[in-house]
């Protein structure tokens, strides 16, 4: 081990060694209980910290640390930390000759590993090695080291544990595979019956254990962990708890929209040239809450932060919300499971609504009935806020009262085409004027969308643009309006649509993401 480095360098270059995993195995054996990744990382930091202290103590006992500015005597033992802790004995001392550094001395040192080397001593003017810190652990204690380097070490440790067959994990708890308690097929059948009786779940493993006859001498934490590992291997069961919480559900009783992405949300990637998108287009892409938009990961939201999104047609029809980079910071997620069960709570009436995060499909399911009750439509504002309890999201709309209805773009579906008009339409929630669209017959729109699959994106967007442009005296259409209407008929995120606009000779940019059509139609 190279102890001739400063503390910062050592921990920044930290890597997981085979001996580290052996130590963690022994530590888990002694404790007889699973541990979180954080706990294992802290254990490893303490272990390495102790190792470094021992190395420093052993090294310093071999001789005096070499400092070029200090004086040495023949026969004196010297340690050279900057050369990998080699040590030797001063065999000769003579004056040095260098006009830039005189006066100084030259030491001839006989090295313990064999051979001799010359080193400067009595060097005036100061030298970096005179101030070098050769105590790798410095004054930092393990808690301070974790605060500085814990996230980095946890990432390295997770990769190492996942690659090692000796370790197994459930809900961010880790243990040694060989020491798991056996869970019989009969006991798993009991679990299935228990979950069936409560509508599929979710139930925690601690609740499932109450009806199982397991050896009392085994610690409960190990019983829970062993049961969860057995459930994870059985395809009948799905772990649906948020990060760090183990909750179990029967797969056959999960909603079909959780098991399979709703058709209107399925997106087939469309090749496009992002270099065509200017700053305004990129800003719009970040503004629209689209789960397939190529936006950067957002920072964590404050606990009391409220998020507002504009509901799109595909999510309105599917009873879902998009799991965008920003919203993924609001909803509960997990490291190892694709489905997370949680609860919505209606912000006005307090009604609890079962919700599902589907990470692979990038959506949140469970709101179809609530949308119908609230009479929301495409373009409505949806407000979201973390609830007081973990795993609870408060959701509400902004009521809107209009006796005669609002002037709104509406769509009608014909045999093989569509038409738009502006007419009075019943509206019950506040909405984004650019995105809102009235859809009196959504079934007919969905059927037409199937027939329009024969069109390319360019052809479909051209027809939509012409249909919308006639509704405006300026014949101008905003990109958000195009995006909203385009997604009536095909699932397309903003970027591919905007690339078509930027490359199409018939489209003229007016600024502020407004476009007009070149020529007659």
CB 246 within 8 A of CB 205: yes
Report the pLDDT value the prediction gives residue 42, as an integer from 0 to 100.
94
* Residue 203 CA: distances (Å) to CA of 195, 210, 246: 7, 12, 8
Report the pLDDT value the prediction gives residue 361, as an integer from 0 to 100.
94
Residue ranges per structural domain of the chain:
1-176, 180-254, 263-517
Q: Residues 110, 113, 118, CA angle at the centre, nearest 5°?
A: 35
Q: Can you tell me which residue has the tokens 């009991």?
A: 190
Report the pLDDT value the prediction gives residue 3, as an integer from 0 to 100.
39
- Residue 204 gets the label, from left (phi > 0), alpha (psi -120 to 50) or beta, of beta
Report the pLDDT value the prediction gives residue 396, as an integer from 0 to 100.
95
Report the pLDDT value the prediction gives residue 5, as an integer from 0 to 100.
41
CB 1 within 8 A of CB 55: yes
For the chain, first and last CA: distance in Å?
Answer: 76
CA distance 352 to 228: 27
Report the pLDDT value the prediction gives residue 1, as an integer from 0 to 100.
36
pTM, whole model, 2 decimals? Answer: 0.74
Axis-axis angle for helices 185-197, 220-233 (nearest 10): 90
* pLDDT string in tens for the chain (521-residue length): 333 344 567 788 788 888 889 999 999 988 888 999 999 999 999 988 887 777 667 666 677 888 888 999 999 998 887 776 788 999 999 988 877 767 888 999 999 889 999 999 888 877 878 876 555 545 568 888 898 898 999 999 999 999 999 999 887 789 999 888 888 899 999 999 999 999 998 999 889 988 887 777 788 888 888 898 899 899 999 999 876 677 899 999 999 999 999 999 999 999 999 999 999 999 999 889 999 998 766 666 676 778 999 999 999 999 999 999 888 888 887 666 789 999 999 988 789 999 999 999 999 999 999 999 999 999 999 999 988 887 889 999 998 887 778 899 999 998 889 999 999 999 999 999 999 999 999 999 999 999 999 999 999 999 999 999 999 878 899 999 999 999 999 999 999 999 999 999 999 999 999 999 987 76
Pair of tokens at residue 391: 């795993």
According to DSSP, residue 162 is labeled H
* Residue 192 CA: distances (Å) to CA of 18, 186, 195, 205, 239: 39, 10, 5, 12, 13
According to DSSP, residue 431 is labeled B
CB 42 within 8 A of CB 146: yes
* Torsion on CA atoms 173, 174, 177, 183, rounded to nearest 10: -10
Report the pLDDT value the prediction gives residue 2, as an integer from 0 to 100.
38
CA distance 458 to 447: 20
CA distance 485 to 411: 9
* Multiple choice CATH, 263-517, 3.30.160.620, 2.40.50.140, 1.10.3720.10, 2.40.330.10: 2.40.330.10
Residue partners of 203: CB distance under 8 A and separation at least 6: 194, 195, 247, 248
Rg (CA), the chain: 33
Domain 180-254 is found in CATH 1.10.10: yes
Positive or negative, the Cα torsion across 143, 148, 149, 151?
A: positive
CB 46 within 8 A of CB 155: no
DSSP track, 355-416: EEEETTTTEEE--HHHHHHHT--TTBEEEEEE-SSTTEEEEEE-B---SS-EEEEEEEE-SS
């Amino acid at each position: 081990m190279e102890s001739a480095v400063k503390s910062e360098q050592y921990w920044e270059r930290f890597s997981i060694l085979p001996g580290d995993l052996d130590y963690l195995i022994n530590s888990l054996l002694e404790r007889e209980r699973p541990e979180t990744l954080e706990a294992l990382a802290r254990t490893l930091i303490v272990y390495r910290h102790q190792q470094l202290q021992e190395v420093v103590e052993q090294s310093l006992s071999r001789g005096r640390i070499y400092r070029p500015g200090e004086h040495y005597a023949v026969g004196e033992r010297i340690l050279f930390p900057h050369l990998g802790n080699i040590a030797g004995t001063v065999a000769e001392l003579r004056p040095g000759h260098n006009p830039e550094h005189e006066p100084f001395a030259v030491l001839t040192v006989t090295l313990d590993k064999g051979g001799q080397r010359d080193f400067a001593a009595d060097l005036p003017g100061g030298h970096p090695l005179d101030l070098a810190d050769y105590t790798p652990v410095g004054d930092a204690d393990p808690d301070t080291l974790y605060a500085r380097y814990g996230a980095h070490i946890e990432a390295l440790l997770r990769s190492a544990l996942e690659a090692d067959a000796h370790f197994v994990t459930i809900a961010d708890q880790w243990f040694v595979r060989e020491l798991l308690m056996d869970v019989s097929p009969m006991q798993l059948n009991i679990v299935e019956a228990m979950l069936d009786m409560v509508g599929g779940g979710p139930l925690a493993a601690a609740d499932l254990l109450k009806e199982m006859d397991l050896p009392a001498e085994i610690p409960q934490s190990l019983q829970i962990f062993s049961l969860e590992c057995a459930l994870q291997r059985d395809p009948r069961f799905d772990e649906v708890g948020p990060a760090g919480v183990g909750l179990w559900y029967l797969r056959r009783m999960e909603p079909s929209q959780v098991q399979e992405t709703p058709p209107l949300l399925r997106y087939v990637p469309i090749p496009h040239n992002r270099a065509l998108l200017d700053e305004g287009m990129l800003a719009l892409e970040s503004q629209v809450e689209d789960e397939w938009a190529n936006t950067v990961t957002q920072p964590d939201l404050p606990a009391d932060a409220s998020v507002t999104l504009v509901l799109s047609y595909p999510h309105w029809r599917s009873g879902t919300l998009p799991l965008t980079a920003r919203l993924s910071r609001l909803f509960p997620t997990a490291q190892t499971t694709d489905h997370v069960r949680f609860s919505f709570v209606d912000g006005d009436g307090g009604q609890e609504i079962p919700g599902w995060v589907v990470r692979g499909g990038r959506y949140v399911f469970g709101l179809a009935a609530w949308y119908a009750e609230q009479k929301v439509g495409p373009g409505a504002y949806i407000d979201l806020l973390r609830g007081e309890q973990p795993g609870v999201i408060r959701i509400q709309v902004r009521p809107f009262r209009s006796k005669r209805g609002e002037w709104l773009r509406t769509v009608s579906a014909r045999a093989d085409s569509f038409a738009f008009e502006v007419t009075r339409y019943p509206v019950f929630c506040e909405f984004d004027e650019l995105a809102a669209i009235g859809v009196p017959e959504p079934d007919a729109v969905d059927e037409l969308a199937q027939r329009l699959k024969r069109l390319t994106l360019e052809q479909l967007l051209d027809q939509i643009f012409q249909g919308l442009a006639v509704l405006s005296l300026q014949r101008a259409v905003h990109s958000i309006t195009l995006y909203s209407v385009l997604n009536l008929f095909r699932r397309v995120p903003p970027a591919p649509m905007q690339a078509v606009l930027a490359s199409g000779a018939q489209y003229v940019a007016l600024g502020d993401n407004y476009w007009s059509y070149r020529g007659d139609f």
